[in-house]
């Protein structure tokens, strides 16, 4: 069996609006032959389906190319808005050959071709969303129609009374003065002969007012091309009206007056003479460009787990899961009745909702009934973070099916799965996943509920790797890197949040994600493009930080290892600082400069810029020396105040000289023991603590920390009803900063994959072309099952301990080689399937797919090609 699957362009399936000059085409290969190697590939790309079908590649015929690559750049330049059909053939060296099915993509239709202007409306309905409409005529057989649009803050596109797509909260947010993302839709099926109506609903979103820009391009069978655009010349043909979303804002919620909802507002033939004309208004200033990431959609619908009535006429729905989004309701009642929904993460004793921790956000939706029929509604221009919703004004008693929680999220694909014999670990894994799903609204956000919801760079120092294991966030992160770059100034300074709304400028030096995210995308996907695109910006940031040093140290720090345990398990008082007073800010900032310099050096190395790589490696070493000179405490044998955070960050970032390694590690173990095997770390150093313990051989300690059930721990959150991660290790519900849906403490999520399943990309095997599998077989765990979708295909690791024998299954995708470390005592025996592959401290019988075996300390390292392997070893 030989099969080609998962054809992608720019890592997306049949995307529209591809902006890259040389789009990357990729595929995966499935074969049941172990150690399968793709010998050659052959791509055909054509502008018409029929041409490709008949093998006439008018765009590109690569010819048969020797090589195992599965990501290839299209050298040809397709025209604007053009569709490209492509397929690929793969051959092995034994005469096997197979063609893929067909895939396609369409290129960007750039703004310069739109002939469109920004439309808006000055004034009459402050706070209200707007409806725009434009009637036009279609005469003749339509071959193809595309709608390109860029409405800010958020827009919904309609044609002839129907939604054009199920995207929500679109377009992705950005610094609108710098760039604005455009959508592209295939719309020929929505058109009809004669009169048609294009409609746009516009809401404030993150822009704070409404602007729309649209270009509809209709190609007829007879070769005619007609356009319908928001052009100033024909502006008088665009009409505008107040939308029934008469008040709407991100934090405040939406008031929807269904009495104003003319359902035919965008239906042909409907009279809208009273509508005023839309007006030409200035745009936000940024360049419109096609979006390069997946849109946001409703990802899950959920009915309430329970409904209660804490007071007469007041209902509370408990969805049993904290999440981001809104509630879709179905209701029947009198015209003009107001149903008000108040969203919250916790309840008061009396069963009503507690909104104290939401700060200025009102998080309230109001639906004013039209009356008569059953009405169904969900908001379009807001979202909330909630587990509970309190309903005032419901006519009668709501049924469970009348209230549906809709989870809204950027459509990232799932990448990983993890399960183990320990239920607490499984619950922690799910806690992390659910938190991420609530916090990807086109940026990696800190929280979904209070008046904040920002893309904090410091949090991403800890989250990024976990995101890469659980989901495929690469397009979202590539877009977010543009957000960071847009906020960067000419001095190289980046900002605490991107797009920049909040926090400091320059950012806290812990913002290593500017380098780390492109690096992770490179190591996990083999994708160098982001490294190239962001290189100058990353370098300018490192240079800026290096220039900030005084006496060799970066002293400035705002957050450092933010929000460590406060020392008591319940609500910290309002105003209580979550800054880690035990870990000096300068220590964290200086360590992060060193780490960033080393990342930059590695990146320069990958890009072949040797002298720059050497320069930043030298900077790393220089800063490491200064770090040691300033923070090493000889008497204590540790760093700073010799706490967990300081020792862990020094170890993780490679700042500890060889001769201090053992004592620093020993010291860290003691700090963990002294805390009765609990963590004392904040958002940043929690990751480094678990990693440093495992890297120095004490995964058992990391597991003990992870499995705690009392304060401070993930188990403590779960024991207290958490369904998403908390912002603080304490249980808090008051006004003090305490979000209940905050991903920054979730770095344990990547630790599970990296150490318990043992799946780690090899330093020289970018894109998982090489990876290691070194599962830690620890007391208290009987089995682990994990999988990871990579650019090459699925990796699977499943181990189980049964009667003194370790059973280990490893699946290696085509295009990858695995280095599997199998625990094996001296003179032990290892089998693969029926073959005894290791015996008497030497390789035994050969088995298909195995490349080599050698002893590496307490493990035997087995190198394999692709395939599914089943090992057994005596423990
Ligand atoms: C955000 C955090 C962030 C912190 C400090 C808070 O307001 O919610 O996620 O880490 O500020 O930067």
C-alpha 733/C-alpha 740 separation (Å) is 9
C-alpha 120/C-alpha 112 separation (Å) is 20
Mutate to test the pocket of ligand 1, among 457, 459, 724 (most ligand atoms within 8 A of CB): 459
Contact 492, 717 (CB under 8 A): no
C-alpha 759/C-alpha 820 separation (Å) is 9
Rounded average pLDDT over 284-307: 97
Please give the pLDDT value at position 316. Answer: 98
Q: Poorest-confidence range of 76-85, 594-603, 810-819, 863-872?
A: 76-85
Mutate to test the pocket of ligand 1, among 456, 507, 588, 736 (most ligand atoms within 8 A of CB): 456
Residue nearest ligand 1's atom 8 by CA: 446
Band of pLDDT at residue 236, cut at 50, 70 and 90: low
Q: Give the phi and the psi of residue 607 in degrees, each rounded to 5.
A: -85, 5
| pLDDT per residue as tens digits for the range 416-441 | 999 999 999 999 999 999 999 999 99
C-alpha 421/C-alpha 782 separation (Å) is 6
Contact 684, 644 (CB under 8 A): no
Q: Poorest-confidence range of 561-570, 618-627, 632-641, 661-670?
A: 561-570
C-alpha 150/C-alpha 290 separation (Å) is 9
Mutate to test the pocket of ligand 1, among 436, 446, 737, 743 (most ligand atoms within 8 A of CB): 446
Please determine, for residue 574, whether its predicted confidence score (pLDDT) is greater than 80. no
- pLDDT-above-90 percentage for the chain: 93
Contact 745, 729 (CB under 8 A): yes
Q: Calculate how far, in angstroms, residue 365's C-alpha sits from the geometric centre of ligand 1.
A: 26
Q: Calculate how far, in angstroms, residue 649's C-alpha sits from the geometric centre of ligand 1.
A: 20
Residue nearest ligand 1's atom 12 by CA: 559
Residue nearest ligand 1's atom 1 by CA: 446
Please give the pLDDT value at position 235. Answer: 63
Residue nearest ligand 1's atom 7 by CA: 452
| pLDDT per residue as tens digits for the range 452-491 | 999 999 999 999 999 999 999 999 999 999 999 999 999 9
Q: Is 447 in the pocket of ligand 1 (CB under 6 A)?
A: yes
Please determine, for residue 166, whether its predicted confidence score (pLDDT) is greater than 70. yes
Q: Is 148 in the pocket of ligand 1 (CB under 6 A)?
A: no
| pLDDT per residue as tens digits for the range 771-783 | 999 999 999 999 9
* Strand ranges of the sheet holding 162-163, from the earlier edge strand across to the other edge: 162-163, 154-159, 194-203, 130-138, 238-242
Residue 236: asked if its preceding bond is cis (omega within 30°), the reply is no
**Atom nearest to 447 CA in ligand 1:** 8
Q: Is 459 in the pocket of ligand 1 (CB under 6 A)?
A: yes
Q: Is 753 in the pocket of ligand 1 (CB under 6 A)?
A: no
Residue nearest ligand 1's atom 5 by CA: 559
Q: Is 798 in the pocket of ligand 1 (CB under 6 A)?
A: no
C-alpha 540/C-alpha 530 separation (Å) is 16
Please give the pLDDT value at position 77. Answer: 81
Please give the pLDDT value at position 483. Answer: 98
Q: Is 561 in the pocket of ligand 1 (CB under 6 A)?
A: no
Q: Which residues of 604-639 are buried (b: 16+ CB within 10 A; e: fewer)?
A: beeeebeebbebbbebbeebbebbeebbbeeeebbb
Look up tokens 């369904």; give the residue.
Answer: 723
Q: Calculate how far, in angstroms, residue 474's C-alpha sits from the geometric centre of ligand 1.
A: 23
Please determine, for residue 266, whether its predicted confidence score (pLDDT) is greater than 70. yes
Q: Is 873 left (phi over 0), alpha (psi -120 to 50) or beta?
A: beta
Q: Calculate how far, in angstroms, residue 456's C-alpha sits from the geometric centre of ligand 1.
A: 6
| pLDDT per residue as tens digits for the range 731-749 | 998 888 899 999 999 999 9
Contact 237, 135 (CB under 8 A): yes
Rounded average pLDDT over 82-87: 97
Rounded average pLDDT over 685-714: 98
The H-or-E segment that residue 312 falls in is none
Q: Calculate how far, in angstroms, residue 435's C-alpha sits from the geometric centre of ligand 1.
A: 15
pTM here is 0.97
**Could you give the count of Cα atoms lying within 13 Å of 683 in the half-sphere of its Cβ?**
25
Please give the pLDDT value at position 94. Answer: 86
Q: Calculate how far, in angstroms, residue 647's C-alpha sits from the geometric centre of ligand 1.
A: 23
**Atom nearest to 496 CA in ligand 1:** 12
Residue nearest ligand 1's atom 2 by CA: 446
Please give the pLDDT value at position 591. Answer: 98
Q: Is 726 in the pocket of ligand 1 (CB under 6 A)?
A: no
Q: Calculate how far, in angstroms, residue 491's C-alpha sits from the geometric centre of ligand 1.
A: 24
Residue nearest ligand 1's atom 10 by CA: 459
Q: Calculate how far, in angstroms, residue 451's C-alpha sits from the geometric centre of ligand 1.
A: 12
Please determine, for residue 249, whether its predicted confidence score (pLDDT) is greater than 90. yes
Q: Is 388 in the pocket of ligand 1 (CB under 6 A)?
A: no
**Atom nearest to 503 CA in ligand 1:** 12
CA distance readout (Å), 106 to 24, 48, 72, 145, 475: 13, 12, 17, 13, 17
Rounded average pLDDT over 17-29: 95
Band of pLDDT at residue 276, cut at 50, 70 and 90: very high
Please give the pLDDT value at position 95. Answer: 85
Token pair recorded at residue 272: 């809208």
Q: Is 871 in the pocket of ligand 1 (CB under 6 A)?
A: no
Please determine, for residue 571, whether its predicted confidence score (pLDDT) is greater than 80. no
Please determine, for residue 101, whether its predicted confidence score (pLDDT) is greater than 70. yes
Rounded average pLDDT over 379-406: 98
Rounded average pLDDT over 820-844: 96
Mean of all residue pLDDT scores within the chain: 96
Please give the pLDDT value at position 573. Answer: 66
**Atom nearest to 737 CA in ligand 1:** 7
- For CA atoms 659, 660, 666, 668, the dihedral sign is negative
Q: Give the phi and the psi of residue 105 in degrees, each rounded to 5.
A: -150, 165
Instruction: Please spell the DSSP secondary structure of 762-812, one letter per residue.
Output: -TT-GGGTEEEE-----TT--EEEEEEE-SS-EEEEEEEEETTEEEEEEEE
CA distance readout (Å), 360 to 154, 203, 252, 355, 446: 21, 20, 8, 10, 16
C-alpha 848/C-alpha 867 separation (Å) is 9
Instruction: Please spell the DSSP secondary structure of 592-607, one letter per residue.
Output: HHHHHHHHHHHHHHHT
Residue nearest ligand 1's atom 9 by CA: 446
Q: Is 744 in the pocket of ligand 1 (CB under 6 A)?
A: yes
């Amino acid at each position: 069996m030989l099969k080609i699957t998962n054809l992608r362009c720019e890592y997306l399936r049949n995307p529209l609006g591809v902006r890259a000059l040389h789009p990357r085409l990729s595929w995966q290969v499935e074969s049941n032959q172990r150690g399968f190697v793709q010998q050659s590939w052959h791509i055909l790309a054509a502008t018409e389906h029929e041409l490709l079908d008949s093998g006439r590649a008018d765009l590109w015929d690569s010819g048969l190319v020797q090589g195992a690559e599965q990501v290839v750049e299209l050298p040809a330049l397709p025209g604007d808005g053009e569709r490209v059909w492509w397929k690929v053939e793969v051959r092995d060296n034994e005469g096997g050959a197979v063609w893929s099915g067909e895939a396609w993509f369409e290129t960007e239709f750039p703004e310069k071709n739109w002939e469109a202007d920004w439309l808006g409306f000055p004034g009459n309905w402050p706070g209200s969303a707007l409806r725009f409409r434009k009637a036009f005529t279609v005469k003749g057989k339509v071959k193809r129609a595309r709608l390109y649009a860029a409405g800010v803050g958020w827009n919904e596109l309609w044609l002839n009374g129907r939604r054009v797509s199920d995207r929500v909260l679109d377009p992705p947010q950005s610094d609108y003065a710098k760039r604005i993302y455009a959508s592209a839709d295939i719309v020929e099926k929505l058109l009809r002969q004669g009169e048609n109506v294009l409609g746009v609903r516009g809401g404030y979103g993150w822009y704070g007012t409404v602007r729309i820009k649209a270009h509809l391009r209709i190609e007829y069978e007879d070769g005619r091309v007609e356009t319908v655009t928001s052009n100033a010349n024909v502006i008088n043909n665009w009409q505008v009206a107040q939308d029934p979303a008469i008040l709407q804002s991100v934090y405040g919620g939406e008031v929807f007056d269904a009495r104003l909802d003319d359902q035919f507002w965008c239906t042909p033939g409907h009279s809208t003479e009273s509508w005023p004309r839309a007006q030409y208004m200035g745009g936000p200033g940024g360049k419109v460009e096609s979006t390069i990431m997946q849109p946001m959609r409703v990802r899950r619908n959920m009915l309430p787990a329970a409904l209660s009535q804490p007071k007469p006429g007041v209902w509370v729905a408990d969805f049993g899961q904290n999440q981001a989004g809104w509630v879709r309701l179905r209701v029947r009642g009198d015209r003009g009745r107001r149903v008000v929904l108040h969203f919250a993460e916790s309840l008061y004793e009396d069963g009503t909702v507690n909104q104290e921790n939401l700060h200025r956000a009102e998080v309230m939706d109001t639906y004013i009934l039209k009356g008569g029929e059953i009405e169904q509604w969900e908001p379009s221009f807001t979202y909330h973070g909630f587990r509970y919703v309190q309903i005032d004004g419901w006519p009668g008693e709501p049924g469970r099916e009348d209230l549906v929680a809709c989870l809204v999220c950027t459509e990232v694909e799932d990448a990983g799965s993890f399960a183990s014999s320990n239920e607490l670990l499984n619950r922690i894994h799910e806690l992390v996943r659910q938190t991420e799903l609530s916090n990807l609204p086109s940026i990696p956000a800190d929280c979904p509920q209070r008046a904040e919801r920002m893309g904090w760079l410091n949090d991403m120092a800890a989250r990024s790797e976990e995101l890469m294991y659980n989901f495929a966030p690469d397009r979202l992160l590539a877009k977010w890197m543009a957000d960071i770059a847009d906020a960067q100034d000419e001095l190289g300074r980046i900002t605490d949040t991107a797009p920049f709304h909040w926090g400091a400028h320059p950012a806290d030096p812990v913002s290593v994600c500017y380098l780390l995210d492109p690096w992770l995308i490179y190591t996990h996907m083999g994708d160098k493009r982001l490294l190239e695109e962001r290189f100058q910006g990353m370098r300018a940031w490192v240079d800026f930080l290096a220039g900030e040093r005084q006496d060799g140290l970066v002293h400035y720090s705002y957050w450092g290892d933010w929000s460590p345990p406060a020392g008591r398990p319940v609500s910290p008082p309002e105003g209580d600082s979550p800054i880690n007073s035990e870990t000096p800010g300068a220590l964290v900032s200086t360590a992060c400069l060193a780490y960033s310099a080393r990342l930059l050096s590695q990146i320069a190395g990958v890009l072949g810029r040797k002298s720059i790589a050497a320069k930043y490696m030298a900077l790393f070493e220089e800063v490491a020396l200064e770090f040691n000179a300033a923070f090493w405490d000889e008497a204590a044998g540790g760093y700073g105040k010799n706490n967990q955070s300081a020792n862990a960050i020094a170890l993780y970032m490679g700042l500890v000289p060889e001769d201090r390694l053992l004592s620093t590690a020993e010291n860290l173990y003691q700090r963990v023991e002294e805390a009765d095997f609990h963590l004392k770390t904040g958002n940043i150093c929690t990751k480094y603590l678990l990693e440093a313990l495992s890297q120095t051989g004490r995964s058992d300690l990391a597991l003990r920390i992870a499995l705690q059930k009392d304060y401070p721990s993930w188990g403590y959150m779960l024991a207290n009803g958490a369904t998403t991660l908390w912002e603080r290790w304490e249980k808090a519900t008051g006004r003090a900063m305490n979000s209940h849906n905050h991903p920054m403490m979730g770095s344990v999520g990547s630790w599970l994959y990296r150490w318990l399943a043992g799946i780690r990309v090899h330093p020289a095997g970018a894109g998982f072309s090489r990876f290691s599998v070194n599962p830690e077989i620890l007391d208290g765990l009987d089995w682990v099952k994990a999988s990871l979708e990579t650019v090459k295909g699925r990796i699977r690791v499943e181990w189980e301990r049964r009667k003194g024998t370790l059973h280990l299954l490893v699946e290696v995708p085509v295009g990858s080689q695995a280095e599997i470390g199998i625990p094996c005592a001296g003179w032990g025996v290892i089998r693969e399937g029926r073959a005894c592959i290791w015996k008497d401290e030497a390789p035994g019988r050969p088995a298909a797919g195995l490349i080599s075996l050698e002893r590496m300390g307490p493990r035997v390292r087995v190198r394999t090609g692709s395939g599914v392997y089943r090992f057994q070893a005596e423990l």
